[in-house]
Amino acid sequence: MPARVGVVTFPGSLDDVDALRGVRLAGGDAVSLWHGDPDLHGVDAVVLPGGFSYGDHLRCGAIARFSPVMDSIIEFARGGGPVLGICNGFQVLCESHLLPGALLRNGQRRFTCHEQRLRVESVKTAWTSAYDEGEEITVVLKNGEGRFYADERTLDALEGEGRVVVRYLDANPNGSLRDIAGIANEAGNVVGMMPHPEHAIEALTGPGTDGLRVFAGLVAGPAVASTAV
Amino acid sequence: MTNGAEATQPYAELGLKDDEYSRIIEILGRRPSDEELAMYSIMWSEHCSYKSSKVHLRRFAGSQESPRILAGIGENAGVIDVGGGTAVTFKVESHNHPSFVEPYQGAATGVGGIVRDILAMGARPVAVMDSLRFGDADAPDTKRLVDGVVAGVGGYGNCLGLPNIGGEITFDPTYSGNPLVNALCLGVLPVERLHLSAAKGIGNIAVLIGAKTGRDGIGGVSVLASATFEEGSSAKRPAVQVGDPFTEKVLIECCLELFDSGLVVGIQDLGGAGLTCALSETAAKAGLGMEARLDAVPLREPSMTATEVLASESQERMLAIVEPARVEEVLAVCGKWGAIATPIAEVTGTGRLVITWHGDVVVDVPPASLADDGPVYERPMRRPADLDALHADDPARLLRPKNGGDLRATVLQLAASANLSSRQWVTDQYDRYVRGNTVLSAPEDAGVLRLSDDGPAGVALALDGNGRFARLDPYLGAQLALAEACRNVAAVGAVPIAATDCLNFGSPEDPEVMWQFAEAVRGLADGAVTMSTPVIGGNVSFYNQTGDRPINPTPVVGILGFIDDVERRTPLAFSGDGDAVILLGTTRDELGGSEWAWVAHRHLGGQPPTLDLSAERALCETLVEASSSGLVRAAHDLSDGGLGQALVESCLRGGVGVTVSVGDDAFVALCSESASRAVVATADVDGVLALAARRGVPAAVIGRVGGAALVVEGSFSIPLDELREAWEGTLPRLFG
């Protein structure tokens, strides 16, 4: 049976359709989850998609964190369930304290959207197991508040524990500390990344298909991935 | 009613003329109330009534004869059947004056407004485009406007999750003090879901959905859009609306769920003229009446008067017409999305629009008198007095590059010019990927969008205008814009099927402007027939001038194309080493209004390029067939900057050079802006030449793809790195 992967729609979510397509193209069973419904409908993994949940009011991700579905997701994540936050989803995971650090306004103070090269630094997470360590991939980066920030101790810990999952190559696009584009929690089941793998899943519409394996790795073996960590 | 029988009513301050005021009294058989007077002043404004343009716009009717057109001019947006049970709707609209007063909010709400027009047809908005014009790139105020407008277009569109798939950005001193911000939105709907705005069915309820109503935007259409700018425009700032894209995103999803559940009979967006327009137009279209309780409207500011509520242009609102038995269900769907929804009116059979405010009747008028029976003017027209002198000032007198070195410098200078250089600094601020159906986007000739995951069909969109050509000859200038947009759509492999236009002109009270307008409409209407691209919607923007100096007349044309298989779209990048480069079309010594004349000499004079629309049509058919039969690897239309600039772009996009041989007059070959031309790159020379011959399109092999430089044999060579530096550096240096 294909893995069931849920994609949450908050009011203001935008890339939910893209994430659902990513799951489908990777062979998974894509399930829409609604922010107001705490029931996760038995999914094997959850994606928090990009967008502007609740209009970024107060602070990116700050309100989404308190939606009914997030209580269930936090519990799911603490139990080892694979959770991926992309862009705004990453911001929600930070606000939920499932991941450390914060995403600040881009250094150049402008929204930027472009093809972005990344290096996959860790393949020991539920979402990056289908890549080779050190592999260089190209996906899409688009955000106005994507500058990863954490204190030095946290940054050292992330580096030391191999929890930097993806790193920006070429010019740092937003001023993220240590070129960090994505990180994982200690167990490796929760991953947040600013770049958008779901926009690089078809050669026709994206800069290639490098992003598809984020979903493929999960679909191929969520159980394996979550027990391996 | 409060119509103070003695005092003089402030109709002149509201923009109504003496005779217009008299007509209101005649219609009502009495003096209007304050509220009625405000409504007439809004609905009879230039912006809402098209009173100066109506007699001319009737020309577009000639192009409307097609069974594919499901809705045309007069609806919120035109709708065209693209087969397979799917329809597409698109429209371009101006937000020029608000964007000058407050660039970010003006541009943002321009996007928001056109998106609601598309939503009101029952469609899901799926993409946006924008056509932007500013004063000289290095003029003092340009950076403020560019920063704000680009951030506003991006800020709103990005938050709605709509890919921005192309458009244009142009600099010319004619727009200093009056930038043009034209936004286009494209929507897709199942044919059977088409919604029209008539408030049908006596007893049905009008439900106001979306944002609360505030004081923003009061008088927007009558104050900002229907009069000339004078000094002290900052005093008009309260008339610019403030946008909240989050509310609009929720409103879109909410309305789409209402459509899918079959819960609404009709729907109308609230844009310019707010509730005044929505109530009167929905009632007028149904030929019925409406009774509205204005005090039921949720207010942001409780102290607002009835007139203010009627005139407010608060954004992110829609008016849905609902059967009484379905109102509860509608409110439940709105509740799910967190959208405020309030029943405010009931459809009646009285033929009157009656509005009450805390129990008092404040308005009682025939709705058609507001919506349809506004004044219609046949404004005086006069050919501009300076036109002959302008034509006589031929670019033939201008100093041309004398040798290869000069020409090399000219090509570099053009590539680095404000109008021809890379637009990436702008387009990188727009999301072009969201929703995952963007197949091509800027800087390609046209944006291409897959219609759904389930099939290969798609649409292409291009948006083009050229104010200099239109200044020299508005009839031809409008047709050249139409031709260029068609060519751009055909270059990517799509068949042009429909047009939308945004007609940006000076004051209609200036006879010379009115002549320009009439000529442009005539050109567009004639051209649309030949190109089989009916004009199914659009917008007129008058009063684009500073003092008594109008902008160059600027008709902007959007063309929609259909492509049966998006996999075969043709990009503009050279890619195949050794591919032959073929020039399609005829090059003449045509430099009037060209980028070269402007960049090298700041010259505008002579005649614009000639145009043979049947040749243009043959070229378009050749490009489409070349794509569908898999003959070409790249195609690029020739327009601003001519062949030289097209080669620069195709080389840099593909990261590969080209060597061409262009005959004795390399300057004319590279810089002429003759219409109806394109370059293609192919591995099958014979196939392309045979195809072109069948269509009667002149075709010549001019060179080969390869190497790392742009080489014009016997003239010059420019390494790609040097070209790239010139092409990419300009906008970041000016605005970064």
The minimum CA-CA distance between B91 and chain A, rounded to whole Å, is 23
pLDDT score of B195: 74
Check CB contact under 8 Å for A110 and B453: no
pLDDT in tens, B453-488: 989 999 999 999 999 999 999 999 999 999 999 999
**Rounded CA separation B732/B736 (Å):** 4
pLDDT tens digits for B24-65? Answer: 999 999 999 999 999 999 999 998 999 999 999 999 887 667
* Residues of the domain holding A215: 4-228
Q: How near does any CA of chain B get to the CA of A110, in Å?
A: 7
A140/B433 touch (CB, cutoff 8 Å), yes or no? yes
- Measured CA to CA, the distance from residue A14 to residue A50 in angstroms comes to 6
Q: What local confidence, expressed as pLDDT, does residue B5 receive?
A: 55
Chain B CB contacts of A52 below 8 Å: 159, 245-246, 249
- b/e string for B430-457 if b means 16 or more Cβ within 10 A? bbbbbbbbbbbbbebbbbbbbbeeeeeb
Residue pairs spanning A and B at CB distance below 8 A: 83
Residue of B nearest to A115 (CA): B428
b/e per residue B687-706 (b: at least 16 CB within 10 A): ebbebbeebebbbbebbbbb
Task: Work out how many domains chain A is built from and give that number.
Answer: 1
The tens digit of pLDDT for each residue in A34-80 reads 999 999 999 999 999 999 998 888 888 888 888 999 999 999 999 99
Give the pLDDT confidence of B629-647 residue by residue, as tens digits. Answer: 999 999 999 999 999 999 9
Task: Report the amino acid identity of residue A80.
Answer: G
Please give the pLDDT value at position A229: 35
Domains of chain B: 9-44+195-376 (3.90.650.10)
A198: annotated active-site residue: yes
Q: Which of B47, B97, B603, B636 is catalytic?
A: B47
Q: Does A20 touch chain B (CB under 8 A)?
A: no
CA distance, residue A103 to nearest chain B CA (Å): 18
Is B662 within 8 Å of B621 (Cβ atoms)?
no
Residue B303 near residue B364 (C-beta atoms within 8 A) = no
> Tell me: the pLDDT tens digits for B211-242?
999 988 776 665 555 565 554 444 444 567 78
A228 touching B, CB under 8 A? Answer: no
Q: Determine if the peptide bond prior to B443 is cis (ω within 30°).
A: yes
Q: How confident is the model at residue A86 (pLDDT cuts 50, 70, 90)?
A: very high
pLDDT at A83 over 60: yes
pLDDT recorded at residue A227: 38
Q: Is the minimum CB–CB distance between A206 and chain B shorter than 8 Å?
A: yes
Per-residue pLDDT tens for A185-197? Answer: 999 999 999 999 9
Is A87 a catalytic site residue?
Answer: yes
A212 chain-B contacts, CB cut-off 8 A? none
**Catalytic one among A87, A95, A121, A199?**
A87
A114 CB neighbours in chain B (<8 A) are: 428
Give me the CATH number covering residue A192: 3.40.50.880
Q: pLDDT tens digits, residue range B603-622? A: 999 999 999 999 999 999 99
- Name the average pLDDT for chain B: 94
Active-site annotation holds for B95: yes
Query: Would you state the pLDDT for residue B377?
Result: 94
- The DSSP call for residue B32 is P
Q: What is the CA radius of gyration of chain B?
A: 26
DSSP codes joined into one string, B215-271? STTTTIIIIITTS-B-S-GGGGGGGS----HHHHHHHHHHHHHHHHTT--SEEEEEB
Contacts of B453 in chain A (CB under 8 A): 21
Distance from CA of A55 to the nearest CA of B (A): 5
- From B341's Cα to the closest Cα of chain A, the distance in A is 17
Query: In this predicted structure, what is the pLDDT of residue B232?
Result: 47
Residue A221 pLDDT more than 70?
A: no
Residue length of chain B = 736
Three-class DSSP category at A55: helix
DSSP letter at A99 equals: S
Q: In the Cβ-directed half-sphere of B119, how many Cα atoms lie within 13 Å?
A: 30
- Nearest-by-CA chain A residue for B569: A204
What ipTM was assigned to the predicted interfaces of this complex? 0.95
Distance CA B254, CA B675 (A): 45
| Helix B142-160, helix B103-119: angle, nearest 10 | 30
Query: Over the range B482-518, which residues count as b (16 or more CB within 10 Å of their CB) and which as e?
Result: bbbbbbbbbbbbbbbbbbbbbbbbbbbbbebbbbbbb
Contact B633, B576 (CB under 8 A): yes
Residues of chain B positioned with their CB less than 8 A from the CB of A196:
433
**Are A199 and B337 a contacting pair at CB < 8 A?**
no
Please give the structure tokens belonging to residue B32.
């209007």
Q: Does A196 touch chain B (CB under 8 A)?
A: yes
Q: List strands edge to edge, sheet with B495-504.
A: B438-440, B447-450, B458-465, B554-563, B495-504, B535-541
Q: Please judge whether A11 and B249 are an interchain contact, meaning their C-beta atoms are less than 8 angstroms apart.
A: yes
Please give the residue of chain A at the shortest CA–CA distance from B736. Answer: A108
